[in-house]
Amino acid sequence: MASLRLFASARSAGKVVEFGGKKYTVEEAKTGVFGDVDVAFFAAGGSVTRALAPDAVKAGCLVIDKSSHYRMDPDVPLVIPEINPEGLRTHKGIIANPNCSTAVTLMALWPLHRAFGLKRYFASTYQSVSGTGAEAIRELESQIQAHVKGGEIVKKVYPYQIAFNLIPQVDSFGPNGYTGEETKMMLESRKIMGLPDLKVSTTTVRVPVVRAHSISINAEFERPVSVEAAKAAVAAFPGAELVDEPAKRLYPTPLDYSRKVKCGVGRIRIDTAFDNGLALWVSGDNLWKGAALNAIQNAELMVCEGLLSRKGAR
């Protein structure tokens, strides 16, 4: 019979969490706890993955990791199930999940790549504060309230005020002037799509939105494109939902795609700078498809295809 166990730091061990009408006591995440666990979802950061994932694999537990620690490891598949499910068949005990912005972006680009052959893309992201964590959400809300009341704007999470503002920095800057988030989008897109020479340039921006990321994309393709064929490709793709009737002001927004399984794609048009180019817009839930949902979808697909066996049945 299936069961659920919750693990966290020693500080949180012993707390009781209620889910689905049942109560669960949080256990301490440490070596030696994975002996009877079939699948462990790691979502606590790279340091925890680095410390505990090898022990879980040694115990015969499949690790599905949300951190960036293993994403570019050549021996670890980086999987979005709608794009490269073959990675679920070739893993060596660990499956990596992509960065949230990469996942949402590729929900729009993958069907277009299959239709026209992606050559390069430029992207600007509009990333919600939930990507930074609960404290960032509280900071945005408190700054809005302070602004309305004429009070002091307190900045702790971000270096600048986020309410009514934009911050063109997500993650730390590297020596080439690109942030870690921007570099992740390039490298992860190449790995997931199987395009090692794909040209990618991005600018990632934090915006005063609570939940769901949006990305503006300009892409160039190998083969001639058309808006009609692009819309048909997106509409047929299981990971996306076409919302594209500009005359009726219908296009995806973060509010519309919070807590939605699919990502919304719209504003598809011929790019005026590229040959064989398209400009488009995508919104998707960074906490669902960009994080937890993708991990669960990977595990579900493995179960459906008989790739995951229970220890008690071995």
Active-site annotation, residues: 100, 213
Tell me 70's DSSP state: T
311 φ, ψ to 5°?
Answer: -60, -40
Beta-carbon contacts of 246 under 8 Å, excluding residues fewer than 6 positions away, are: 266, 267
Q: Is the distance from CB of 77 to CB of 87 less than 8 angstroms?
A: yes
Q: Is the distance from CB of 34 to CB of 40 less than 8 angstroms?
A: yes
3-state secondary structure of 246: helix
| Helical pair 227-236 and 100-116, crossing angle rounded to 10 deg | 120
Tell me 312's DSSP state: G
C-alpha distances (whole Å) from 293 to each of 80, 205, 273 are: 10, 23, 35
Beta-carbon contacts of 26 under 8 Å, excluding residues fewer than 6 positions away, are: 6, 7, 8, 12, 13, 14, 15, 16, 17
